[in-house]
A and B are shown apart, each in its own frame.
Chain A
Amino acid sequence: MIYSDKVLEHFKHPHNQGVIKDADAIGEVGNPVCGDVMKIYIKVKDCIIEDVKFETLGCAAAIAVSSALTDLIKGKTIDEALKITKDKIVEDLGGLPAQKVHCSMLGVEALHKAIEEYKNKDK
């Protein structure tokens, strides 16, 4: 199974790994029984994702996806972030082995959950 250099780089030096104590919203998906858990923290100001952090339990692909995803959404508006697809993440990573593509789906799910929580708070 081959991982791209980009995936390995993200895994070795993940971007935005950590927590945001006063996060505006949090999205957590997956479960330890499957061996995959992703948690995204976002800080939003004027509809722009000012800061984002992640915590992940998972394989190299899962960690790389989380890292790449946070890069992709930082500084974007909520609406722009919602448009990011799993294919965009996979492309950004220079590809993922077929059996790892589901990790990118998990990333998108975590992001959407965070945004949903943010939007619900707003109401």
Chain B
Amino acid sequence: MKIAYFDHSATTPVDKRVLKEMLPFFSEKFGNAASIHSLGRFSEAAVEESRKRISEFLNCGNDEIIFTSGSTESNNLVLRGLVKALHNGKKLHIITTSIEHDAILEPCADLEKEGIEVTYLPVKSNGIIDLEDLKKAIKEETILVSVMYANNEVGSIQPIEEIGKILARQNKKIYFHTDATQAVNALPCDTKKLGVDFLSLSGHKIYGPKGVGILYVKNKSPIKGIQLGGHQERNIRSGTLNVPGIVGLGKAVELAGKEREKNNKKIEKLRNKLVKGILEKIPETILNTDIATALPSHAHFSFLGVEGEAILFDLDFKGIEVSTGSACASGSLEPSHNLLAMGISPEVAHGSIRFSLGKHNTEDEIKKVIKVLPPIISKLRKMNPLYKK
């Protein structure tokens, strides 16, 4: 059975063109980029070519890119690396949001245990922060603001440029980081325009390989490495470079920039069709994604009177892959923190399904979902003792 994949926010297939560029670097040109001999230098050149492609995409210098194992590492690096560089016995304060990925929330919670103060800005019902809350949260001890560019769950886009402007107006330097992992496919990531000092991105969300990403570090920004060893990446991130991964990442980023408009147009059209079909055919359905302020790829629904994991499996049996914010499907048995932060009740959050579209989705796949989902929801609602029949 052919799979209709609607979980691009979880991961994406590697683009054929990306894979082609990566392949020679596994067994043929396999040198360590730090080796001085010709095989090593070949790898080094490939890494630097990739770095150049990424710096062009981000509108920054080559020397402002650090290769990592992905956004989780990049996020940990900026949070801990900045604190490490600035820690001088004084009290430090970080501002972030309640809808960040766990790769920001967990290191922040860890830093709180070490005495760093963290403010988690609330969001409105559309999943976006209120800039007034940010302004009020800034204090003397604030060293960093970290706000994700686009949310992985509902797709809400944060006002990064505006935040950049607010921070630029402060009378002391507050560093600004954005986790752009979910934004790279759909949104421009010009670091100068965004006004960021740090930016995380990951390969496997943009039709590149898993296990590789970058942290953009604006020149002269303080940061200290947290993974120490062979002094690679100017001692900010030691470890043998994942050359095939890095080559793939460079190509993936280049393609993302070049094909963004074309892909967005196609994806948005399909997403809107999906939303229309589902809202028309299935009563008591809430659309949690605010279309006007979200990525073109996302359609996050809550189906009242049904549990999300059950919907997910029923769709999976029909060859349709999605994800859910239900507690039952999370390791922690808590419903998604993003949905709760948006003011969605746990009861409604349990019945949630996220569709995150990608560049390979087709109209036929959308039609299949619209055909297959209504009877699934009806069947599960019938089984619910509390759902009025």
Chain A interface residues toward B at CB < 8 A: 8, 11-12, 14, 17, 28, 32-39, 55-63, 99-100, 102
Contact = CB atoms under 8 A, between A and B. Distances in A.
A63 B314 CA distance: 12
A105 to B, nearest CB: 13
Given A58-B307, A60-B309, A36 B386 contact: no
Contact of A59 (B326, B346, B385): B326
B385 A99 contact: no
A57 B326 contact: no
B313 A35 contact: no
Given A11-B310, A12-B317, A39 B385 contact: yes
Chain B interface, >50% SS class: loop
Interface of B: 305-310, 313, 317, 326-329, 331, 333, 335, 345-347, 350, 383-387
B310 A60 contact: yes
Given A33-B347, A34-B327, A35-B326, A55 B384 contact: yes
A60 B385 contact: no
A17 B383 contact: yes
A63 B313 CA distance: 12
22 contacts: A8-B313, A28-B385, A32-B347, A33-B345, A33-B346, A33-B347, A35-B326, A35-B327, A36-B307, A37-B385, A39-B385, A55-B385, A56-B383, A56-B385, A57-B385, A58-B328, A59-B307, A60-B309, A60-B313, A62-B307, A62-B310, A102-B333
B388 to A, nearest CB: 13
Which of A8, A34, A39 has the most chain B CB within a 10 Å cutoff?
A: A34
Contact of B328 (A14, A33, A55, A59): A59
Contacts of A37: 384-386
Contacts of B328: 35-36, 58-59, 61-62, 100
Nearest to B330: A99
B387 A57 contact: yes
B7 to A, nearest CB: 15
